[in-house]
Amino acid sequence: MSSVNRSSQNDHGVPADAPFGALTGTHWIESLNDGSRVLVRPLRQEDRQRERIFIERLSPPSRRFRFMDTFKHASPELLDQLMDVDNLNQVALVALAHDDGELREVGISRYGATGEDRQCECAVTVADDWRQRGLGVLLMRHLIGQARQNGFRQMISIDAIDNEPMSKLANYLGFRSHHDMRDPTQVSHVLDL
């Protein structure tokens, strides 16, 4: 992946991305609807602890919507699966923000190849206290861009039928939605890339 750095300088001549430290590799520094700034970049192995904390801080409904399961603690096996990214067939983009002097994971989007011809399945999760700021849209737009760049032609998301935030997001981003004929508790969202 090529390096993308949208840094600019503020009124004091200091790089706008300085709060995130020295950055290398593909990354984006973005302002959300409320003016808060996040660093978006591919997930790295050093993010494992952040990913665990992020999952465990989610509210029970948010964890259920993301994993279609209920649990309190992320198992080592789940973390192994989530950290297994190759930035081609398995991509995860993490959003980081400062919280009391530490970089905190506040959102993540990911896709994985399904095995169908150039199709990938996606998911996006935003920390409960970071919702309604446009972070989900931002993460999905970057993820859609990565999927297109990597040659995928279709992106799908299979979600609980009562996951209203995902249904609204999918509709906003142009996904077509339909009920899963095999499981009436699920809905499929499909985007042609």
pTM value is 0.85
- Banded model confidence at residue 24, pLDDT cuts 50, 70, 90: low
pLDDT higher at 52 or 16? 52
The answer to whether 6 and 23 have CB atoms below 8 angstroms apart is no
Read off the pLDDT band of 45 (50, 70, 90).
Answer: very high
Per-residue pLDDT averaged across 67-85, rounded?
Answer: 88
Q: What integer best gives the mean pLDDT of the chain?
A: 87
Instruction: Name the band, by pLDDT with cuts 50, 70 and 90, for residue 4.
Output: very low
**68 DSSP 8-state letter:** S
Q: Which two tokens stand for residue 87?
A: 């930035």
The DSSP code for 151 is: T
Q: What is the average pLDDT across 102-130?
A: 95
Residue-wise pLDDT for 81-97, tens only, equals 999 999 999 999 999 99
Give the pLDDT score at 13: 36
Mean local confidence (pLDDT), 54-82: 89
The CATH topology of domain 18-192 is Aminopeptidase (3.40.630)
- What is the Cα–Cα distance from 123 to 92, expressed in whole angstroms? 9
Question: What mean pLDDT comes out for the span 164-189?
Answer: 93
| Ordered DSSP codes for 79-103 | HHHHH---SSSEEEEEEEEEETTEE
